A and B are shown apart, each in its own frame.
Chain A
Amino acid sequence: QKEVEQNSGPLSVPEGAIASLNCTYSDRGSQSFFWYRQYSGKSPELIMFIYSNGDKEDGRFTAQLNKASQYVSLLIRDSQPSDSATYLCAVNGPNFGNEKLTFGTGTRLTIIP
């Protein structure tokens, strides 16, 4: 089992719809969870982080964490063409090394105008 697993996509979503990106992780002791957005040819950009079970909202983005199911998701409401990018899930936990992040391979999202 991969330590951090994401569906590679591509995921195609119509403009204005909700995009749902999912991530599962293997370390039950993981404590911090991050979503990065990466445009083609650019560096990863931190867009959301979540530390506690439940939902965290920031503008059009909502991160959802369920530690019991070892599952973290990112919802993007009112999707825009500018949201087209690869989204990376990253996890920080004791078995991964508290001082390190373990990244998934990313989900490529395309917003269709």
Chain B
Amino acid sequence: NAGVTQTPKFQVLKTGQSMTLQCAQDMNHNSMYWYRQDPGMGLRLIYYSASEGTTDKGEVPNGYNVSRLNKREFSLRLESAAPSQTSVYFCASSESRVQNEQFFGPGTRLTVL
């Protein structure tokens, strides 16, 4: 039981390049989330998916797109990376929408030059 896994662990991009961050969970959770964490800003929600087939914007969705490929997988895409997207990205999942105990993956450290 690996929990929540993310790939890659580290990535360096040039401005304008695109990439997809992958997330998968093996806990049969319905809800999945993408956050970014910046110094002094805390965790900010980018997008979430309350169930397979649905996605919704969070606090900071601009510049990102998501796909809930199936119940296990939730990917985050940067179409044209900008230096402001340099951050640590975390994926999380939750079984219950109401109580919403979220479990986090190990994170992806992204640098955009």
A: residues with CB less than 8 A from B are 31-32, 34, 36, 42-46, 49, 51, 88, 90, 92, 98-101, 103-106
Decide: B99 and A51 in contact? CB cutoff 8 A.
Answer: yes
B40 engages A46 (CB within 8 Å): no
Let me know if B101 and A49 touch, CB within 8 A.
Answer: yes
B interface with A by C-beta (< 8 Å): 31, 33, 40-43, 45, 48, 50, 56, 58, 90, 97-107
**B105 interface neighbour in A43, A46, A100, Cβ under 8 Å:** A43
Contact flag A106-B42 (CB < 8 Å), given A42-B106, A99-B31: yes
CB distance from B12 to the nearest CB of A (A): 17
Give the residues in chain B near A99, CB-CB below 8 Å: 31, 48, 50, 56, 97, 100
* Complex interface: chain A residues within 8 A of B33 (CB): 100
List 9 additional contacts besides A42-B107, A99-B100; criterion CB under 8 Å.
A32-B98, A32-B99, A44-B104, A99-B31, A100-B48, A100-B58, A101-B45, A101-B102, A106-B42
A46 to B97 alpha-carbon distance, docked (Å): 16
A43 touches B101 (CB 8 A): no
User: Which chain A residue lies CB-closest to B107?
Assistant: A43
**A46→B106 contact, CB < 8 A:** no
Write the nearest CB–CB distance from B73 to chain A, whole angstroms.
18
Q: List 5 A-B contacts (CB under 8 A).
A: A49-B101, A99-B100, A101-B45, A105-B41, A105-B42
Kindly report which residue of chain B lies nearest to residue A86, judged by CB atoms: B42
Find out whether the CB atom of B99 lies under 8 angstroms from the CB atom of A92: yes
**Closest B-chain residue to A34, C-beta based?**
B101
